[in-house]
A and B are shown apart, each in its own frame.
Chain A
Amino acid sequence: MLGDFLGLTLAPRWPWRSSSEIGIHTVGRCWVEPRSPGPGCGPAGGVGAGSHWLPGASLLAGTRPTLGQVRLLGRGPSTSTCWQGPLQGARARSCLPIKAGQTMPETQGHMLPGYCLKERERRPGRPAPTASPGPWSYWARQLLPSTNRDSLLLRCEPRQACVYPSFKDIDKQYVGFATLPNQVHRKSVKKGFDFTLMVAGESGLGKSTLVHSLFLTDLYKDRKLLSAEERISQTVEILKHTVDIEEKGVKLKLTIVDTPGFGDAVNNSECWKPITDYVDQQFEQYFRDESGLNRKNIQDNRVHCCLYFISPFGHGLRPVDVGFMKALHEKVNIVPLIAKADCLVPSEIRKLKERIREEIDKFGIHVYQFPECDSDEDEDFKQQDRELKESAPFAVIGSNTVVEAKGQRVRGRLYPWGIVEVENQAHCDFVKLRNMLIRTHMHDLKDVTCDVHYENYRAHCIQQMTSKLTQDSRMESPIPILPLPTPDAETEKLIRMKDEELRRMQEMLQKMKQQMQDQ
Chain B
Amino acid sequence: MDPLRQSASPCSSRPSSPKTPPCEMLGYVGIEAVLDQLKIKAMKMGFEFNIMVVGQSGLGKSTMLNTLFKSKVWKCTLPGLAMPTPQTLQLKSVTHVIEEKGVKLKLTVTDTPGFGDQINNDKCWNPILGYINEQYERYLQEEILITRQRHIPDTRVHCCVYFVPPTGHCLRPLDIEFLQRLCRTVNVVPVIARADSLTLEEREAFRRRIQHNLRTHCIEVYPQKCFDEDINDRILNSKIRDRIPFAVVGADRQHLVNGRCVLGRKTKWGIIEGPTVGKPTTRKQTDLEIKSLLAAGRTQWRTWRTVSFLC
A contacts, CB < 8 Å to B: 202-205, 225, 227-229, 231-232, 264-269, 271, 311-316, 318-320, 323, 340, 342-346, 348, 350-352, 354-355, 413-421, 424, 426-427
Contacts and interface: CB of A to CB of B under 8 A. Distances in A.
Given A267-B121, A419-B269, A319 B172 contact: no
Contacts of B165: 204, 311, 313
Contacts of B170: 225, 227-228, 231
B269 A228 contact: no
8 contacts: A204-B165, A267-B120, A313-B60, A319-B117, A346-B267, A354-B80, A415-B200, A415-B270
Contacts of A421: 269
Interface stretch (B18-26, B32-40, B51-59): B51-59
Nearest to A350: B80
Interface stretch (B65-73, B94-102, B271-279): B271-279
B198 to A, nearest CB: 9
Nearest to B172: A264
Contact of A232 (B60, B122, B173, B199): B173
A227 to B, nearest CB: 6
Nearest to A344: B79
A229 B172 CA distance: 9
A417 B80 contact: no
A348 B176 contact: no
B265 to A, nearest CB: 5
A203 B167 contact: yes
A352 B80 contact: yes
Contacts of B12: none
Contacts of A318: 85, 117
Interface string B174-201: 1011000000000000000110110110
A315 B119 contact: no
B56 A314 contact: yes
Nearest to B60: A313
Contact of A229 (B121, B216, B266): B216
Nearest to A418: B270
Given A354-B80, A415-B200, 18 more contacts: A204-B165, A204-B167, A204-B168, A228-B176, A228-B213, A264-B172, A266-B121, A266-B173, A266-B177, A313-B58, A313-B60, A314-B56, A319-B118, A323-B119, A413-B199, A417-B271, A417-B272, A424-B268
B81 interface: yes
Contacts of A416: 200, 279
B138 interface: no
B80 A355 contact: yes
B310 interface: no
B311 to A, nearest CB: 28
Given A203-B167, A344-B79, A418-B269, A231 B85 contact: no
A228 B271 CA distance: 34
The 3 closest A-B pairs by CB, nearest first: A204-B167, A418-B270, A351-B80
A352 B269 contact: no
Interface residues of B, number: 49
Nearest to A346: B268
Q: Which of B79, B216, B270 has the most A CB atoms < 10 Å from its CB?
A: B79
Contacts of B121: 266-268
B88 interface: no
A420 B265 CA distance: 14
Contacts of B80: 315-316, 348, 350-352, 354-355
A63 to B, nearest CB: 39
Contacts of B29: none
Contact of A265 (B81, B173, B213, B216): B173
B119 A417 contact: no
A355 B77 CA distance: 13
Nearest to A351: B80
Given A269-B120, A315-B79, A342 B197 contact: yes
Contacts of A319: 85, 117-119
Contacts of A346: 267-268
Contacts of B269: 415, 417-421, 427
Contact of B199 (A266, A352, A415, A427): A415
A225 B177 CA distance: 20
